[in-house]
């Protein structure tokens, strides 16, 4: 009886370790925090999700099949680094053939539209994740603790025209910009 109890305790402990190891770690405001899992791997099919556009219409990832898709994911446009990433991808997107850049955050669609109008952003598609449970559950980028809890971590994924991940970067420190050059090179 004692052996089975120890075995159950050992299995429970191993299960706990495996669950905690499955989470990514990022730094936000100087504090290391966890995400709710891991990003999709290179070579994997990108999980389906929908985002909400400026007209409050649901837009699915699959509607861009046949094109290269850059997912520029970040906590909020109301931060300098997030705004910079949208500006940078907006500029780069104008020179990309058969490519769409989706800028994804939990900002409300109205705030995203206002930002894009004020900044003259026309080459990217902002989509709000404020009601996208599928994204939160499958992309492993939801911050689970700390001051930015329930917002997305900063990351970039590049998908080929069939929807497979060809590049991924989780930016370890949220206040830093992603590696734009490597992301864009993965399309060529």
For 52, list phi and psi in degrees, rounded to 5: -110, 125
**Beta strand spans in the chain (E):** 25-28, 31-34, 50-52, 58-60, 68-73, 99-105, 125-128, 155-159, 165-170
82 is catalytic: yes
**How many other CB atoms are there within 10 angstroms of residue 117's CB atom?**
11
CA distance 185 to 22: 28
**Which residue among 73, 82, 151, 153 is the active-site one?**
82
Q: Which residues are catalytic?
A: 82
């Amino acid at each position: 009886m004692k052996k089975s109890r120890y075995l159950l305790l050992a299995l429970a402990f191993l299960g706990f370790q495996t669950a905690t190891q499955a989470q990514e770690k990022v730094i936000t405001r100087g504090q290391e925090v966890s995400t709710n899992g891991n990003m999709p791997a290179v070579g994997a099919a990108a999980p389906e999700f929908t985002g909400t556009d400026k007209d409050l219409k649901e837009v699915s990832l699959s509607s861009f099949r046949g094109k290269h898709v850059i997912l520029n994911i970040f906590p909020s446009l109301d931060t300098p680094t997030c705004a910079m990433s949208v500006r940078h991808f907006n500029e780069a997107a104008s020179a990309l053939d058969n490519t769409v850049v989706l800028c994804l955050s939990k900002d409300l669609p109205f705030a995203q539209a206002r930002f894009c109008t004020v900044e003259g952003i026309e080459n990217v598609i902002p989509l709000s994740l404020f009601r996208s449970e599928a994204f939160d559950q499958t992309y492993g980028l939801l911050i689970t603790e700390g001051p930015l809890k329930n917002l997305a971590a900063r990351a970039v994924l590049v998908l080929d025209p069939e929807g497979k991940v060809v590049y991924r970067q989780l930016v370890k420190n949220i206040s830093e910009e992603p590696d734009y050059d490597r992301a864009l090179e993965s399309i060529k």
